């Protein structure tokens, strides 16, 4: 039976951890230079409605290193916007490919594509979720701190796709998580309650998943301070309003002065300097954003192996 990765909750706790462990194995392979190629002869089709640097490169390079081949398609290269339905596109792609990666706006489009496709579909980002990014981020946090059960991750900014996926990452990974957003930009209650429920099923009452609108209070016990752009792709017309609404939620030295020692700063990139984060923080010794970006390759390879190796 084919599997998809549309949100992190398509995985159970054991599968989530298995992908992290496989990512570690692939990172060790990179050090030795002895790369395994379990996907030899397999082909990944990649559809991009949104621009991409890290997602495209990590999947394309990862597929190559695994022995397979990746085909990049800008959405305009296909017939999706020229009369062909998602259902028909899914069936055609299933005839040629072993897997589909799609990066688009609407989560419903990915769900519909996966429903009709006979091959695995991977969410490379939508406005609602970014599961591949957060799998890699949890990998990076675990690599840094080793034991996730003692870690408190605080997200400061917009309750967007990254924030939603961090809730799911906490539910499966077993760490405390606070989403600190302006009230108007908070994630849905459904997202929060669902993550709390799944985390309790997986780990009991050991951890905390919650909302906040007070950045200073939120970061006081944080090990990880995570932020993302306030103006995501497609929201450019809202920029002036959002810059006003997010005043006080910038990750800067003043905010970080309230943290305890041994914290790290994360950002999925690209960063809008002097908006959600200041350049001195982005390039500081506490920042691990480039390690975070590098690890995308190893975890993307683990995702590909998990979904495509047994197809």
Task: Find the mean pLDDT for residues 31-39.
Answer: 95
Q: Pairing mode, if any, of strands 264-267 and 224-227?
A: parallel
Q: How far apart are CA 86 and CA 83, in angstroms?
A: 10
H or E stretch at 47: strand 43-48
Q: How far apart are CA 304 and CA 65, in angstroms?
A: 11
Q: How far apart are CA 207 and CA 203, in angstroms?
A: 8
Determine the pLDDT at residue 214: 98
Pick the catalytic residue from 65, 133, 250, 292: 133
130 has catalytic annotation: yes
133 has catalytic annotation: yes
Task: Find the mean pLDDT for residues 73-81.
Answer: 80
Pick the catalytic residue from 54, 103, 242, 267: 103
Phi, psi of 209 (to 5 degrees): -125, 125
Pick the catalytic residue from 98, 137, 158, 228: 228
Q: How far apart are CA 165 and CA 181, in angstroms?
A: 15
What's the pLDDT band for 235 if we cut at 50, 70, 90?
A: confident
Residue of 182, 237, 170, 248 whose CA lies nearest to 209: 170
Q: Is the pLDDT of residue 177 over 90?
A: yes
What's the pLDDT band for 36 if we cut at 50, 70, 90?
A: very high
Pick the catalytic residue from 54, 242, 267, 296: 296
Task: Find the mean pLDDT for residues 140-168.
Answer: 97
Task: Find the mean pLDDT for residues 51-75.
Answer: 96
Which ranges in the chain are annotated with CATH 3.40.50.1370? Answer: 8-130+296-308, 134-292
Question: Does residue 43 sit in helix, strand or coil?
Answer: strand
Q: What is the average pLDDT score of the chain? A: 95
DSSP state of 42: -
Q: How far apart are CA 251 and CA 215, in angstroms?
A: 9
268 has catalytic annotation: yes
In this structure, whether the domain defined by 8-130+296-308 belongs to CATH 3.40.50.1370 is answered with yes
Topology of domain 134-292 in CATH is Rossmann fold (3.40.50)
Residue count of the chain: 311
Pick the catalytic residue from 10, 65, 98, 130: 130
What's the pLDDT band for 236 if we cut at 50, 70, 90?
A: confident
296 has catalytic annotation: yes
Q: How far apart are CA 39 and CA 23, in angstroms?
A: 15
Task: Find the mean pLDDT for residues 246-252.
Answer: 97
Task: Find the mean pLDDT for residues 174-187.
Answer: 97
Q: How far apart are CA 236 and CA 289, in angstroms?
A: 24
Determine the pLDDT at residue 76: 80
144 has catalytic annotation: no
Angle CA(159)–CA(160)–CA(166) in degrees, nearest 5? Answer: 85
Pick the catalytic residue from 132, 163, 259, 268: 268
pLDDT in tens, 111-130: 999 999 999 999 999 999 99
């Amino acid at each position: 039976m084919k599997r998809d990765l549309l949100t992190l909750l398509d995985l159970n706790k054991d599968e989530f951890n298995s992908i992290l462990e496989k990512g570690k194995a692939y990172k060790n392979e990179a050090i030795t230079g002895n790369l395994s190629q379990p996907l030899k002869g397999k082909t990944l089709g990649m559809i991009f409605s949104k621009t991409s640097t890290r997602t495209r490169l990590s999947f394309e390079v990862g597929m190559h290193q695994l022995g397979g081949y990746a085909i990049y398609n800008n959405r305009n290269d296909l017939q999706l916007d020229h009369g062909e339905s998602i259902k028909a596109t899914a069936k055609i792609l299933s005839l040629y490919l072993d897997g589909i990666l799609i990066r688009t706006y609407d989560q419903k489009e990915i769900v519909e594509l996966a429903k009709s496709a006979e091959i695995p579909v991977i969410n490379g980002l939508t406005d609602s979720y970014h599961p591949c990014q957060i799998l890699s981020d949890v990998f990076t946090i675990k690599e840094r701190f080793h034991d996730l059960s003692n870690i408190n991750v605080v997200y400061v900014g917009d309750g967007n796709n990254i924030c939603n996926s961090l809730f799911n990452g906490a539910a499966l990974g077993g760490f405390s998580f606070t989403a600190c957003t302006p009230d108007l930009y908070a994630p849905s209650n459904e997202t929060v309650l669902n993550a709390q429920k799944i985390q309790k099923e997986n780990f009991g009452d050991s951890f905390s998943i919650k909302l906040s609108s007070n950045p200073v209070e939120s970061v006081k016990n944080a090990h990880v301070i995570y932020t993302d752009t306030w103006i995501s792709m497609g929201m450019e017309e809202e920029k002036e309003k959002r810059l006003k609404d997010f005043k006080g939620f910038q990750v800067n030295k003043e905010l970080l002065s309230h943290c305890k020692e041994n914290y790290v700063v994360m950002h999925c990139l690209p960063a809008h300097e002097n908006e959600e984060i200041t350049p001195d923080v982005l390039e500081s010794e506490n920042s691990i954003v480039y390690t975070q970006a590098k690890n995308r390759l190893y975890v993307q390879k683990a995702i590909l192996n998990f979904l495509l190796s047994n197809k």
